[in-house]
Structure 1
Amino acid sequence: MTPKSVLRRLRAAQRDRLRLREARDGQFPPGGYEPVLPSATPASRARRHSVRLYRVLHRFEERAFVQAQPAAVLARPDVVVARRRGRMRLLQVRPGITPDGAYRANRDLVVSLCEAHAIDYFVVPESASPRTRIGIPQHSWRRFVEALEALSAEAPLYVAVRGRTPRGQARRLPGQLSEPAIDLAVRSQRELEVFTMMVPTPTGRVFDRPFSCRVDRWDEDEDGSLNAPSRNTRTTHLGSASQVPATISDGSRSMRTFGSLTARDIFAVDFPIDLVYMWVDGSDPAWFERKNAALVACGLEPEDAGAAAERFRDNGELRYSLRSVERFAPWARNIYLVTDQQVPSWLDPTNDRITIVDHADLFAGAGRLPSFNSHAIGARLHHIEGLSEHYIHFNDDFFLGRPTTPSLFFQGNGASRFFLSRSTLGFHDEGVAQPHEQARRNVVDLLEKDFGRSPTRAFFHTPITQRRSVMLDLETRYPSVFSTTWNSQFRSGADYEINSWLHHYYGYLSGSAVPGSIRYDYFDISNPTALRRMRRLLQNRSFDAFCINDSPAATDAQRERVATWMRRYFPDPAAWELDDEPEQPATAEETDAPPEVPDAPDAPDGV
């Protein structure tokens, strides 16, 4: 640390001591007492320089932390003490916990606390989100804080309050009510977040503040009106006439609210959404024989058994992609897995969340089987029996990276969202373009002819939103486009890329699809920077979705490191996985990144 930074921290600490003294005397500033965020602990600073010193300081900090905790909390069998993000924390072990489950557990904790202590509260639903806020009227706030303090003597409870960095920047500060600064902030501030730090295993990833329950203290006017402390997506003012008691339920429990807050929000995406995967195991000898027989029948050269095509190689991505869906898209209704007489060895086919759809049932006499053409297979997905109007097509190398909501993919009026890439479609001479490029060019020519508009932008390698009615409309309008594509057993220049380019751009022109925005990344595993960037993602989990793309240039070592990385990002088996194939847990050493090189984008060409 530089002399200036030391001086800045000393001054900030002095100001904090003054504010703390004033707060204890009841002299709260208008926005409530805001503690200064503490600096890194000695053990955290020592870790960068000496492992031995770090271990010594860690033991001292751990001992001091344990001594400060209530005995009843430490005696709980589901509570462990561990260092997380540089500080000692109380973690609650909840096997199988998911992000959605962590949020619900924190919300239910607050609701149950209010109901057990007869504290007035009301739920404020968030627009286009399954999450809610809890409102506490001013007259009940003190009792709520006292109930929190009583609970903290029995449970590993944390609250997050508004604090300041030494530079004066606003930040959220998590802490325990036993800390004087946190206790004063909770009593004086009007917004806080309540949570327990949950982990599926003692060494698993922590579900902490991002999954907390937001609690707001609503001020009361003389006429009984309630005013929110800050903006939300529903309302900031509730007149006395609008405070008619009502209940609201998310399917797991009922909660108190006001009738004025129970109306269905205009932006709510509450219609059923299914997911559809297309998958093939290219290492299956029977599938390989069918493919070679089809190649010969089409007058093409059969493939050598040792040289499987890149897009048909199975590296186990499907297992982890499905885990990402279970963890980060609990709102999905059904999952359909489209295959050609194949079922993954680890998948329980009797699980009611997943339905296996064979190509024979999918094509149902249309087209030409066996099909090895993703254009043709994708153009038949809307014929899956029982499929919802709104569905999302996943490739097995698509992954969700953090909790998502349906509004990421669809609007409340039913319109689908598509995600544009910066890549554009080239103008190639006849016979030069690759089949997938020509399939896109065919769509462009079709739309130019019928609408006088020319689409040029490709799409990110992200999950592809679909509307069944749009696909059926397209099939009625362009029957020859569909039949030509269905009858193409392998990709060819006569194909049309229907389930992305035609669906999205026709949907945009007809008002049923709109451009969307998504936090996304793309990893070509043969790129020297990919593993470095993936390791950063493992730490910050900052993307809604990402694609891990195999490449002929990738080495076996690179593929193994990526497999290890996937085990670390998605360690918990999904409900539809069989137990007969246990996995080896990944260690931190296994995913050490190669020597750092300047980051470079993988430059995908879009889909």
Structure 2
Amino acid sequence: MPHQEQAEPGAGAARSRARAAERLARSNPEASWPVTAYRRALPVRLRRRVARVVSREVRMQTKQLLSVWPSAGPSLSTVRAEREIRRHPRPLLGADRPLGRVRGVPKVLLASPGVSPLQARNANAAAVCEALEGAEVDYFWVRGRRNDSAVIAVPERDRDRVHLALAELCERLPGYVSPMDGRTATPRESSPGFAAATWKRLAAARVIRMTWYHSDPSGRLVLGPKYGCDVEFWAEEEGRLVAPRSQPVADEVPLHDTPVQESGALFTRLASPDTEMPTVRTRREFASPRPDDIRFPVDAVYTWVDGQDPAWLRRRQEAQGQPYHEEAANTARFASRDELRYSLRSLRQNAPWIRRVFLVTDDQTPSWLDPSAEGITLVSHRDIFTDPSVLPTFNSHAIESQLHHIEGLSEHFLYFNDDMFLGRPVTPQDFFHANGLTKFFPSPALIPMGDPGDEDVPVSAAGKNNREVLDSRFHTVITHKMKHIPYPLRRSVLAEIETVFADRHRATAAARFRSLDDLSIASSFHHYYAYQTSRAVPGQVSYAYVDLAHPDTGRRLGQLLARRNRQAFCINDTISTDEDVEGQQLLLEPFLEAYFPVPSLFERSPASGAPRREPAGERRREPAGTPSLGAAGEPPREATAALSP
């Protein structure tokens, strides 16, 4: 959905956004401890029964009251945890080591401005490896079942040395440890690794997870045990080392074998094969790609328009014709709430494997964007339309029909509207198969039956047209719209559609405003056509749709912020008026700042206007002249409210 952009407000407004985000996170009733306890205590089916008999207004009032309910006081375990930190002989706390609370328990945080899931995962694993090398332990990396936590194997006979080395490390760099008993993928609790009693309790644990809690300086983004490093103790049996739990690649290796060095990118799908990461020590059994590893590059494409630019408004006014439906020209379609800024933050945080970002505009640039930043390319409509006589265009269907003409775009790419966000880390496998097939995500919403008419909103009219064209070729009737999730696309399929359905494609590209004859090529037609020609399959991604015009929007945003359990979400609006936009901005901006507090590398510094520099860490190996996209952070599920440094 194209939007306008306002002038960069500067450092003062940035601080105001941050303060508003802090207040929202602290006062969010969906994150209060009574509401959290209620959700944990009652199964979903019982909560749904309550929702059917208790009105939304009553439920909201109750949550508001509970959000200010006085705490019963810290638990005994919380008091002990804080006392352990405070009384430790070494200075665990400092300016870059604030004391925060995760699930109400004090934890020492390691604060840095460039925090990210991939950075936290790699830093935790590197700390463990450094300790093991110092203790001269023969360790090796293992390809585990998860992408957000590393796995390192050590011989069982070295358990005491490993425990001692890790305990000494935690005294220097305050870390935490949890037993991995196989019941959950991510432990809910962790004990201080700088406390001697912790290691006594773990004396027989076959797998432990080492965690350092990484955060951004504000403490709103905390990455905990989900991104820890597992240490597995492999037993010696008849000249072989045998894994303590099931493995996806190999569950035993020779006791003595020459270690090999491989890029750390091989051990997580959060990094692409081209990501420059330090080499790691492994065994030959784990040193080769698997058939389901995606090794082709994936780019991202956004479309965006500055709907308040006087020159653009003049061109729009002078254009011949008017949109057939009021929704196509509604204020909400061009209202800026800074979605693009935060969508790019979500992309950098949660999809660090993206190679490049292409921003398609009508020769416009957001004021906060650094167009020279590594990893982003601005693309003009003039550069992609095969028939420049149809420009200027104010029809997103027309613009989307030309995306495959972007120079340098990879064969496989994700197409984003600026109101789409990635809420948790995702991998290329969430959108593509390693053999090149794309995935698509049908919505429960139906395409209305019948022919397009003036009463149809644009998405329904285009869906009806898609159905008619596809039925004429494949003799099958499509019935469902698509979820508003980043769309996995292939350039070759889009080019084929342009050739096979040349007349309808040309008509869509030539319509300056949304038309009753449009095809929605990128958001729907591509997926059904690719499916019928054996190049796409249905997929599933956890997803939420939020309509800003809905009266329940505040609650929905509060739930997203508190739970952070959706891989993707969309915040959409098509019917708001000018009067609605200001109030929605006050609701949405603090939410986005609280959810995505870490600026992307594409933003200018608010104070100086200078571009931000990539922090030390992962970079991509690219051919000369090819920009790159770094990694960034994900708000964790375990941090349900802002943490106080």
TM-score class, shorter: 0.7 to 0.9
CA contact (8 A) 2:447 2:460 kept: yes
CA distance in 1, matches of 2:186, 2:451: 57
The aligned amino acid for 2:241 is L
- What are the ranges of 5 or more consecutive residues in structure 2 without an aligned counterpart? 1-65, 266-275, 610-640
CA contact (8 A) 2:302 2:416 kept: yes
CA distance in 2, matches of 1:439, 1:95: 44
What residue number does 2:597 align with? 571
CA contact (8 A) 2:358 2:379 kept: yes
What residue number does 1:312 align with? 334
Describe the SS at the equivalent of 2:190.
Answer: strand
CA contact (8 A) 1:164 1:171 kept: no
What residue number does 2:520 align with? 497
TM-score (normalised: structure 1): 0.81
Distance apart, 1:506 and its partner CA: 1.2
What residue number does 2:297 align with? 272
Alignment of 1:278-289 (within 5 A): 278-289=303-314
CA contact (8 A) 1:282 1:312 kept: yes
What residue number does 2:128 align with? 110
What residue number does 2:253 align with? 238
Instruction: Tell me: CA distance 1:308–1:455, structure 2 relative to 1, closer, same or farther (3 Å).
Output: closer
**Deviation per residue, 1:163-210 (Å, 9 max, x gap):** 799xx9996431113446631343211111112111111533211111
The aligned amino acid for 2:587 is R
CA contact (8 A) 2:82 2:106 kept: no
The aligned amino acid for 1:156 is P
What residue number does 1:123 align with? 141
**Deviation per residue, 1:513-555 (Å, 9 max, x gap):** 1111101101112222221121122122101010011243445
Aligned counterpart in structure 1 of residue 405 of structure 2, from 383, 391, 394: 383
What residue number does 2:619 align with? none
Aligned counterpart in structure 1 of residue 449 of structure 2, from 406, 427, 446: 427
Distance apart, 1:54 and its partner CA: 4.7
1:511 and 2:534 aligned: yes
CA distance in 1, matches of 2:475, 2:501: 17
Aligned counterpart in structure 2 of residue 561 of structure 1, from 579, 587, 593: 587
Aligned counterpart in structure 2 of residue 293 of structure 1, from 318, 325, 331: 318
Describe the SS at the equivalent of 1:188.
Answer: coil
Count of matched residue positions in the alignment of Structure 1 and Structure 2: 528
Describe the SS at the equivalent of 2:214.
Answer: strand
Distance apart, 1:91 and its partner CA: 1.2
Distance apart, 1:64 and its partner CA: 2.4
Instruction: Tell me: CA distance 1:299–1:152, structure 2 relative to 1, closer, same or farther (3 Å).
Output: closer
Alignment of 1:62-141 (within 5 A): 64-74=83-93, 77-126=95-144, 129=147, 132-141=150-159
CA distance in 2, matches of 1:211, 1:527: 36
Describe the SS at the equivalent of 2:203.
Answer: helix
**Deviation per residue, 1:471-519 (Å, 9 max, x gap):** 1222222222221111111111211111132210111122211111101
Q: Which moved more, 1:340-349 or 1:441-450?
A: 441-450
1:182 and 2:198 aligned: yes
The aligned amino acid for 2:211 is F
CA contact (8 A) 1:197 1:208 kept: yes
CA distance in 1, matches of 2:166, 2:558: 38
Describe the SS at the equivalent of 2:358.
Answer: strand
What residue number does 2:621 align with? none
CA distance in 2, matches of 1:558, 1:95: 29
The aligned amino acid for 2:515 is S
Q: Which moved more, 1:57-66 or 1:142-151?
A: 57-66
CA distance in 2, matches of 1:551, 1:400: 21
What residue number does 1:143 align with? 161
CA distance in 1, matches of 2:379, 2:175: 46
CA distance in 2, matches of 1:170, 1:410: 26
Distance apart, 1:319 and its partner CA: 0.6
The aligned amino acid for 1:326 is R
Distance apart, 1:162 and its partner CA: 4.1
What residue number does 1:445 align with? 468
CA distance in 2, matches of 1:556, 1:181: 55
- What are the ranges of 5 or more consecutive residues in structure 1 without an aligned counterpart? 1-45, 584-592, 594-607
Instruction: Tell me: CA distance 1:254–1:424, structure 2 relative to 1, closer, same or farther (3 Å).
Output: same
CA contact (8 A) 1:111 1:255 kept: no
What residue number does 1:255 align with? 280
The aligned amino acid for 1:228 is A
CA contact (8 A) 1:137 1:217 kept: yes
CA distance in 2, matches of 1:56, 1:126: 35
Describe the SS at the equivalent of 2:160.
Answer: helix
CA contact (8 A) 1:419 1:517 kept: yes
Aligned counterpart in structure 2 of residue 225 of structure 1, from 240, 254, 276: 240
Distance apart, 1:62 and its partner CA: 8.1
What residue number does 2:558 align with? 535
Distance apart, 1:332 and its partner CA: 0.6
Instruction: Tell me: CA distance 1:256–1:57, structure 2 relative to 1, closer, same or farther (3 Å).
Output: closer
What residue number does 1:200 align with? 216
Describe the SS at the equivalent of 1:83.
Answer: strand
The aligned amino acid for 1:176 is P
CA contact (8 A) 1:525 1:559 kept: no
1:470 and 2:493 aligned: yes
CA contact (8 A) 1:293 1:302 kept: no
